[in-house]
Amino acid sequence: MRLLITGATGFIGNAVLARGSSDPAGLVRAATRRSVSGLPDNVESVLVGDLAPDTDWHPAVTGVDAIVHTAARVHVMHDGATDPLAEFRRVNVAGTLNLARQAAAAGVRRFVFISSIKVNGEGTPAGQPYTADDVPAPVDFYGISKHEAELGLMQLAEKTGLEVVVIRPPLVYGPGVKGNFLAMIRWLHRGIPLPLGAIHNQRSLVARDNLVDLIMTGLHHPAAANQIFLASDGDDLSTPALLRRMAAALGRPIHLVPVPALILRGAARALGKADFAQRLCCSLQADISKTRRLLGWTPPVSVDDGLKQTARHFLANPGRG
């Protein structure tokens, strides 16, 4: 297969690139915003610039069979855009559809779009997970833009025959993870007592290796065409359970203080961290039964193995995470 990967230097895209380039019979092309070094010898780099409504993708899409589209405008702390929703739409909707239209015109067969569980919403009652066929209910600008991109891609598929595969992952973790997950690892490594012992929620996560395996399945499986799939490890955890397993992977003791969730949320709101408290305290579960049934897919990496891989990388690179 001749494969193009967008966002090829990112957390997910780089792992897809590594997996795709391991096939000596394939051709892998990495679309990048700027010149990069250190790519595998059998990976062709194509400089395309930003993901935008007017980006010229012709050099990148010509001669490829499939695209894995991981590039996106993601959550921005202290967003400086005058109109953040318009900027999300410009990049994630118009930029994505511009790429897909040029791909269809070039004869690309399949387009795997990495969307987000945020298209479904921001949280679920415990034991009532989101499904791939639920009515979307995005709340934040990122989720709204991903939903609109999904709709546009499916309309394009009907008109052109381009096969679209949408994958909505929840929080993705793995070696080199950043953001709040890395902050959590650092807290545990330092032995800082955490006021999270009284949280009773359930959250779905997905190890990066599991997500990449699902992406590769979506590239090849006939039943994946024009379908939406949710991703997860298939093993939902409460916040305290996740912390205990991560501490065990790090080989560190853990100190969880049972502070009621109501107090935590109030304190977080006062500190301007309400979104962070939402993720720590509330449930968000993804039902992957459709993914299992249609694709015959099972997550190859267990939660504990995924956390151990993440911990090993952190311990080997404590300064960078």
Model pLDDT for residues 259-293, shown as the tens digit of each residue: 998 898 888 888 887 777 888 889 999 999 999 99
Residues of the chain by 3-state class (helix, strand, coil), percent to 5: 45, 15, 40
Amino acid at site 82:
T
Task: Give the pLDDT band of residue 127 (cuts 50, 70, 90).
Answer: confident
**What residue numbers bound the domain in which 134 lies?**
2-173+205-234+285-299
Is 256 a domain residue? no
Domain count, the chain: 1
Distance CA 252, CA 272 (A): 30
Catalytic residue among 113, 142, 173, 314: 142
Is 247 a domain residue? no
Quick: pLDDT tens for 75-115: 765 566 789 999 999 999 999 999 999 999 999 999 999 99
Q: Two tokens at 210? A: 């599991």
Is 244 a domain residue? no
Is 6 a domain residue? yes
Residue 319 has what pLDDT? 66
Distance CA 182, CA 203 (A): 17
Residue 60 has what pLDDT? 96
Q: Are 113 and 166 in contact (CB under 8 A)?
A: yes
Residues with Cβ within 8 Å of residue 117, at least 6 apart in sequence: 130, 168, 169, 170, 204, 230, 284, 286
- Other Cβ atoms less than 10 A from the Cβ of 43: the count is 17
Amino acid at site 232:
S
Please provide the distance, in angstroms rounded to a whole number, between the alpha carbons at the two ends of the chain.
34
Is 219 a domain residue? yes
Containing H/E element for 128?
A: none
Mean pLDDT of the 23-27 span: 78
Chain mean pLDDT for the chain: 93
Is 152 a domain residue? yes
Task: Residue 75: give its domain's CATH number.
Answer: 3.40.50.720
Is 27 a domain residue? yes
Percent of the chain, pLDDT > 90? 81
pTM equals 0.95
Assess whether 142 carries a catalytic annotation.
Answer: yes
Q: Two tokens at 321? A: 């995470």
Residue 246 has what pLDDT? 98
Quick: pLDDT tens for 202-253: 999 999 999 999 999 999 999 999 999 999 999 999 999 999 999 999 999 9
Is 212 a domain residue? yes
Could you say which DSSP state residue 222 is in? Answer: G
